[in-house]
Amino acid sequence: MTSSDMKPRGWWQIIKSCSGTELDRRNQFRFSAWTFAWAVSYVAASWTLKADLDLATPLVWFLVAVPNLISIVVVLAYLHFLRMADELLRKIQLEGLALGFAAGVLVTAGYQLLEAAGARQLETDHIILVMIFSWVIGQFLGMWRYR
Amino acid sequence: MKNRLRVLRAEREWSQAALAEQLQVSRQTINAIETGKYDPGLPLAFKIAQLFEQRIEDVFDPGE
């Protein structure tokens, strides 16, 4: 067993060793960059539209269109990353997505019962956050299992 | 599924990283296969067998 065959210890080492091949890292960076661009455009558009600025209609449409167009690129970048990914990395991503989706559905359904019992209404943002958080947790669990 | 990947790799004195590079997969994938945590798909299994000039059933054993 060579030194490079040692089992990674600590989360950072595990994440580093689980990031796939060089191609995966490039595709993951591209996906992250587009996600960041989407987040910035979404926050900027959301903030501008909520502020009482009396904007012209074309500008309103522009502010709505930009994050949505970027979101299409984000989805395409993720699909490209997934299709090109190392097969174990693809499995880890799939398990993460499954956890994210399941958590989103279950939390939404579960909270509806709380709403019926009088809790305040659940916002879409919160469901999205639960799904993203569960997706990330699912990836960490996969990385840990196959480290 | 059992496999002889670690043995075959050791015979050639290759590191996991070196083998991963030849197979165009991550080092983690090699490690997961060797430790039995992950069974590779058919294309990768054939690629491994081809690289070690073995029949696929001589590298991977479905066991009982």
**Are A68 and A124 members of one domain?**
no
- From chain B, the residues in CB contact with A24 under 8 A are 26
Q: Please indicate, yes or no, if residue A6 is contained in any of the structural domains.
A: no
Q: Please indicate, yes or no, if residue A124 is contained in any of the structural domains.
A: yes
Give the residue numbers spanning the domain of A35: 19-85
Q: Does B54 touch chain A (CB under 8 A)?
A: no
**Are A67 and A91 members of one domain?**
no
**Are A117 and A103 members of one domain?**
yes
**Are A68 and A27 members of one domain?**
yes
Average pLDDT for residues A131-136, to the nearest whole number? 92
Which pLDDT tens digit goes with each residue over A97-111?
999 999 999 999 999
Query: Could you give the percent of chain A with pLDDT greater than 90?
Result: 63
Residue A124's pLDDT is 85
How many structural domains compose chain A? 2
Q: Please indicate, yes or no, if residue A9 is contained in any of the structural domains.
A: no
Structure tokens at A76: 């395409």
**Are A93 and A143 members of one domain?**
yes
Q: Please indicate, yes or no, if residue A65 is contained in any of the structural domains.
A: yes
Residues A84/A23, Cβ–Cβ less than 8 Å: yes
Q: Please indicate, yes or no, if residue A136 is contained in any of the structural domains.
A: yes
**Are A109 and A68 members of one domain?**
no
**Are A147 and A93 members of one domain?**
yes
Q: Does the structure show a pLDDT above 60 at A137?
A: yes
Structure tokens at A65: 């269109």
Q: Please indicate, yes or no, if residue A10 is contained in any of the structural domains.
A: no
Q: Does the structure show a pLDDT above 70 at A4?
A: no
Residue B29's pLDDT is 93
**Are A74 and A125 members of one domain?**
no
- Distance from C-alpha of B51 to C-alpha of B33, rounded to nearest angstrom: 15
The last residue of a domain, from among A61, A85, A109: A85
Q: Please indicate, yes or no, if residue A46 is contained in any of the structural domains.
A: yes
Question: What is the DSSP track for A23-86?
Answer: HHHHHHHHHHHHHHHHHHHHHHHHHHHHS-----HHHHHHHHHHHHHHHHHHHHHHHHHHHHS-
Residue A8's pLDDT is 61
- Distance from C-alpha of A98 to C-alpha of A138, rounded to nearest angstrom: 8
- From chain B, the residues in CB contact with A17 under 8 A are 26-28
The last residue of a domain, from among A85, A113, A139: A85
ipTM confidence: 0.85
**Are A109 and A144 members of one domain?**
yes
- Distance from C-alpha of A105 to C-alpha of A103, rounded to nearest angstrom: 6
Average pLDDT for residues A89-96, to the nearest whole number? 93
Residue B6's pLDDT is 95
For chain B, domains (ranges, CATH) are: 2-54 (1.10.260.40)
CA nearest neighbour of A131 among A106, A108, A104? A104
Residues A130/A104, Cβ–Cβ less than 8 Å: yes
Residue A84's pLDDT is 93
- Distance from C-alpha of B45 to C-alpha of B9, rounded to nearest angstrom: 14
Average pLDDT for residues B1-5, to the nearest whole number? 92
Give the CA distances from residue A89 to residues A35, A68, A107, B13, in Å, rounded to whole numbers and listed in that order: 19, 28, 27, 26
Q: What is the largest CA-CA distance in chain A?
A: 68
* Interface with chain B: mutation pick from A3, A5, A24, A140, highest number of B CBs within 10 Å: A5
Q: Which helix H or strand E contains A129, and what residues bound it?
A: helix A124-145
- SS3 category, A4: helix
Confidence of residue A16 (pLDDT cuts 50, 70, 90): low
Q: Please indicate, yes or no, if residue A5 is contained in any of the structural domains.
A: no
Nearest CA to CA, how far is A75 from chain B (Å)? 24
Residue A94's pLDDT is 94
**Are A68 and A106 members of one domain?**
no
Q: Does B63 touch chain A (CB under 8 A)?
A: no
